[in-house]
Chains A and B, each alone.
Chain A
Amino acid sequence: MTKELFNDRVHALMAKVLDLTSERHRVLANNVANVDTPGFQRSDIRFDRELADALRSRSPNALRKLRPTVVQSKTAAAFRNDGNNVDMDTEMGEMAKNFLLYNVNAQLISKRLAMLRAAISGRP
């Protein structure tokens, strides 16, 4: 019974999103750190499609097996001639969105645990 309580799909999904967003933050921080490195190409992690596929497959291990893939973008920036395509505004925007997604998930996990606690204690 307790196994189902904590190992359900919703919980696994939220934990996975925490993992993926924290990994994505590392990649975005690397882009920012290399904003002045000549020839550096920005990379990013996309996981929305993989996540949707894993959810659709309904296999319990699909979520656990999901590994983020780092993709490098090869497009050249029009306004720079050092071969670097990092745009600081884009990075900061993506970082803010990623941060919010992380916070939303952490909050959801907290609320879910609070609901469990309420059910256990019987007090609202």
Chain B
Amino acid sequence: MSLDSFFSAIDVSSTGLRAQRMRMNVISNNIANANTTRGPNGACYRRQQVRFSTLLGGALQGRGVAVPSITEDKREPKKIFNPEHPDAAKDGYVAMPNVNIVEEMVDMISAARSYEANVMALKTARGMVMKALEIGRA
């Protein structure tokens, strides 16, 4: 029972690591596409964001966190007047992605800190397992 509980603590922390890493990937993708005016659908890139939700085991027992979907930010693209741009509309305005670099940077710091916290929790669980292995050793 005890060992099972240990491994499930490590599993819980690893779901947190996976979720934060996915968030970081989405942030990187947003920053990389901050100036992309034409995506596969012909429109300009739209900022993506992750959605977190709790993973539940039986009887309200939390089993970590999951990323059920990645959604698009609904905010309107920024219009910038630049008639020379190849993707400019007839009136000379270019639709630029609704990515705000400052926002992405702050989000990135938050993701990195949360990732570290999960690493800490995982290390603690590992420390407990290692301590348990020492029981009875002369």
A and B bound? yes
Which residues of B are found within 8 Å of A34, using beta-carbon distances? Answer: 16, 52, 54, 62, 64-65
B-side interface residues toward A, CB under 8 Å? 1-2, 5-6, 8-9, 12-13, 15-16, 19-20, 23, 52-54, 59-65, 110, 113-114, 117-118, 120-122, 124-125, 127-128, 131-132, 134-138
B110 contact set on A, CB distance < 8 A: 36
Minimum CB–CB distance from B59 to chain A (whole Å) comes to 8
The size of the chain A interface, using a CB distance under 8 A, is 38
Residue of B nearest to A42 (CB): B62
Task: Say yes or no: is A33 at the interface (Cβ < 8 Å to chain B).
Answer: yes
Chain B residue nearest to A98 in the complex (CB): B124
A110 pairs with B134, CB closer than 8 A: yes
Q: Give the total number of A-B pairs whose CB atoms are below 8 A apart.
A: 113
Whether the pair A32, B128 counts as a contact (CB closer than 8 A) is: no
Select from chain A the residue with minimum beta-carbon distance to B137.
A110
Most buried by B among A27, A29, A91, A92: A29
- At the interface, is chain B mostly helix, strand, loop or mixed? helix
Question: Is A106 a contact partner of B124 (Cβ separation < 8 A)?
Answer: no
7 contacts between A and B (CB under 8 A): A25-B128, A26-B8, A32-B118, A36-B20, A36-B52, A88-B117, A95-B120
- B131→A106 contact, CB < 8 A: yes
CA–CA, A91 and B121, complex, Å:
10
Contacts of B137 in A (CB 8 A): 110
B128–A99 touching, CB < 8 Å:
yes
